[in-house]
Amino acid sequence: MKPAYHSPSFWFGMLATVIIVVTVRETALYVCTLLKMPTAANIVGLVTLFLILMMYRFVKGGLPSWLSYSASLLLVDSGFAFLPVSAGAGILMFGLGLEFWAVSLTIIISVVLPLWFVAKLAQAWLVNEKNP
Protein backbone atom coordinates (compact mmCIF):
# COMPACT_ATOMS: atom_id res chain seq x y z
CA MET A 1 0.00 0.00 0.00
CA LYS A 2 1.32 3.42 -0.96
CA PRO A 3 1.88 5.96 1.88
CA ALA A 4 -0.76 8.69 2.12
CA TYR A 5 1.69 11.52 1.51
CA HIS A 6 2.20 10.33 -2.09
CA SER A 7 -1.48 10.96 -2.84
CA PRO A 8 -2.44 14.25 -4.56
CA SER A 9 -5.61 14.43 -2.45
CA PHE A 10 -3.47 14.31 0.71
CA TRP A 11 -1.48 17.37 -0.38
CA PHE A 12 -4.63 19.18 -1.53
CA GLY A 13 -6.18 18.68 1.90
CA MET A 14 -3.04 19.76 3.74
CA LEU A 15 -2.52 22.84 1.58
CA ALA A 16 -6.20 23.83 1.68
CA THR A 17 -6.33 23.44 5.47
CA VAL A 18 -3.22 25.56 5.98
CA ILE A 19 -4.56 28.21 3.58
CA ILE A 20 -7.90 28.33 5.42
CA VAL A 21 -6.25 28.68 8.84
CA VAL A 22 -3.73 31.31 7.71
CA THR A 23 -6.37 33.31 5.82
CA VAL A 24 -8.75 33.42 8.79
CA ARG A 25 -5.95 34.30 11.21
CA GLU A 26 -4.50 37.06 9.02
CA THR A 27 -7.96 38.49 8.38
CA ALA A 28 -8.58 38.54 12.12
CA LEU A 29 -5.22 40.28 12.63
CA TYR A 30 -6.13 42.90 10.02
CA VAL A 31 -9.55 43.56 11.56
CA CYS A 32 -8.19 43.64 15.12
CA THR A 33 -5.40 46.01 14.06
CA LEU A 34 -8.00 48.34 12.56
CA LEU A 35 -9.86 48.20 15.88
CA LYS A 36 -6.59 48.94 17.78
CA MET A 37 -6.57 45.48 19.43
CA PRO A 38 -3.91 43.45 17.57
CA THR A 39 -3.25 41.21 20.57
CA ALA A 40 -6.79 39.84 20.34
CA ALA A 41 -6.23 38.56 16.79
CA ASN A 42 -5.46 34.95 17.72
CA ILE A 43 -8.56 34.43 19.83
CA VAL A 44 -10.75 36.33 17.36
CA GLY A 45 -9.40 34.17 14.53
CA LEU A 46 -9.95 31.00 16.55
CA VAL A 47 -13.55 31.87 17.39
CA THR A 48 -14.22 33.01 13.82
CA LEU A 49 -12.86 29.78 12.36
CA PHE A 50 -14.90 27.78 14.86
CA LEU A 51 -18.09 29.63 13.91
CA ILE A 52 -17.40 29.27 10.18
CA LEU A 53 -16.83 25.53 10.52
CA MET A 54 -19.92 25.08 12.71
CA MET A 55 -22.10 26.97 10.22
CA TYR A 56 -20.67 24.90 7.36
CA ARG A 57 -21.32 21.71 9.33
CA PHE A 58 -24.93 22.63 10.04
CA VAL A 59 -25.64 23.78 6.47
CA LYS A 60 -23.86 20.98 4.60
CA GLY A 61 -24.38 18.24 7.17
CA GLY A 62 -20.71 17.67 7.94
CA LEU A 63 -17.17 18.70 7.16
CA PRO A 64 -15.24 17.38 4.16
CA SER A 65 -13.15 14.32 4.96
CA TRP A 66 -9.98 15.95 3.61
CA LEU A 67 -10.41 18.80 6.08
CA SER A 68 -10.98 16.50 9.05
CA TYR A 69 -8.06 14.26 8.13
CA SER A 70 -5.55 17.02 7.50
CA ALA A 71 -6.63 19.05 10.55
CA SER A 72 -6.26 16.05 12.85
CA LEU A 73 -2.87 15.23 11.33
CA LEU A 74 -1.67 18.82 11.78
CA LEU A 75 -2.97 18.97 15.36
CA VAL A 76 -1.21 15.75 16.35
CA ASP A 77 2.10 16.96 14.96
CA SER A 78 1.77 20.53 16.26
CA GLY A 79 1.36 19.34 19.84
CA PHE A 80 5.13 19.08 20.14
CA ALA A 81 5.39 22.86 19.65
CA PHE A 82 3.79 23.40 23.07
CA LEU A 83 6.15 21.17 25.06
CA PRO A 84 8.79 23.87 25.75
CA VAL A 85 6.08 26.35 26.77
CA SER A 86 4.50 23.82 29.11
CA ALA A 87 7.84 22.93 30.68
CA GLY A 88 8.66 26.61 31.22
CA ALA A 89 5.25 27.31 32.73
CA GLY A 90 5.62 24.32 35.04
CA ILE A 91 9.00 25.55 36.27
CA LEU A 92 7.70 29.09 36.81
CA MET A 93 4.67 27.89 38.76
CA PHE A 94 6.88 26.59 41.56
CA GLY A 95 8.18 30.15 42.00
CA LEU A 96 4.71 31.35 43.00
CA GLY A 97 5.18 30.39 46.63
CA LEU A 98 1.95 30.48 48.62
CA GLU A 99 -0.12 31.36 45.56
CA PHE A 100 0.80 28.06 43.87
CA TRP A 101 -2.33 26.19 45.01
CA ALA A 102 -4.72 29.02 44.15
CA VAL A 103 -3.24 29.39 40.66
CA SER A 104 -3.23 25.60 40.18
CA LEU A 105 -6.88 25.34 41.21
CA THR A 106 -7.81 28.18 38.85
CA ILE A 107 -6.00 26.50 35.96
CA ILE A 108 -7.57 23.12 36.68
CA ILE A 109 -11.09 24.58 36.90
CA SER A 110 -10.66 26.71 33.78
CA VAL A 111 -9.47 23.68 31.80
CA VAL A 112 -11.55 20.84 33.22
CA LEU A 113 -14.96 22.53 33.13
CA PRO A 114 -14.78 23.59 29.46
CA LEU A 115 -13.40 20.17 28.48
CA TRP A 116 -16.21 18.45 30.38
CA PHE A 117 -18.78 20.70 28.66
CA VAL A 118 -17.30 20.02 25.21
CA ALA A 119 -17.23 16.28 25.96
CA LYS A 120 -20.93 16.35 26.87
CA LEU A 121 -21.74 18.25 23.66
CA ALA A 122 -19.69 15.81 21.58
CA GLN A 123 -21.40 12.86 23.24
CA ALA A 124 -24.83 14.32 22.45
CA TRP A 125 -23.83 15.03 18.84
CA LEU A 126 -22.43 11.53 18.36
CA VAL A 127 -25.58 9.92 19.75
CA ASN A 128 -27.72 12.06 17.42
CA GLU A 129 -25.59 11.09 14.40
CA LYS A 130 -25.94 7.37 15.14
CA ASN A 131 -29.71 7.58 15.68
CA PRO A 132 -31.07 10.30 13.36
Report d(CA 68, CA 23) in Å as an integer: 18
With a cut of 80, say whether residue 18 has pLDDT above it: yes
The one-letter amino acid code at 11 reads: W
| Predicted TM-score of the model (pTM) | 0.57
Mean pLDDT of 110-123: 89
Report d(CA 121, CA 127) in Å as an integer: 10
User: What is residue 1's predicted lDDT score, i.e. its pLDDT?
Assistant: 47
Number of domains the chain contains: 1
User: What is residue 4's predicted lDDT score, i.e. its pLDDT?
Assistant: 63
**Alpha-carbon distance values, 83 to 31, 70, 80, 88, 119 (Å):** 30, 22, 5, 9, 24
74 Cβ neighbours under 8 A, 6+ residues apart:
14, 17, 18
Q: Domain of 51? A: 4-130
Q: Using one digit for the tens of pLDDT, what is the confidence trace for 57-74?
A: 999 988 888 888 888 888
Q: Using one digit for the tens of pLDDT, what is the confidence trace for 44-61?
A: 998 999 999 999 999 998
Short-list 44, 62, 42, CA closest to 53: 62
Q: Using one digit for the tens of pLDDT, what is the confidence trace for 79-113?
A: 666 666 667 777 887 888 888 888 888 988 998 88
Residue-averaged pLDDT of the chain: 84
User: What is residue 122's predicted lDDT score, i.e. its pLDDT?
Assistant: 86
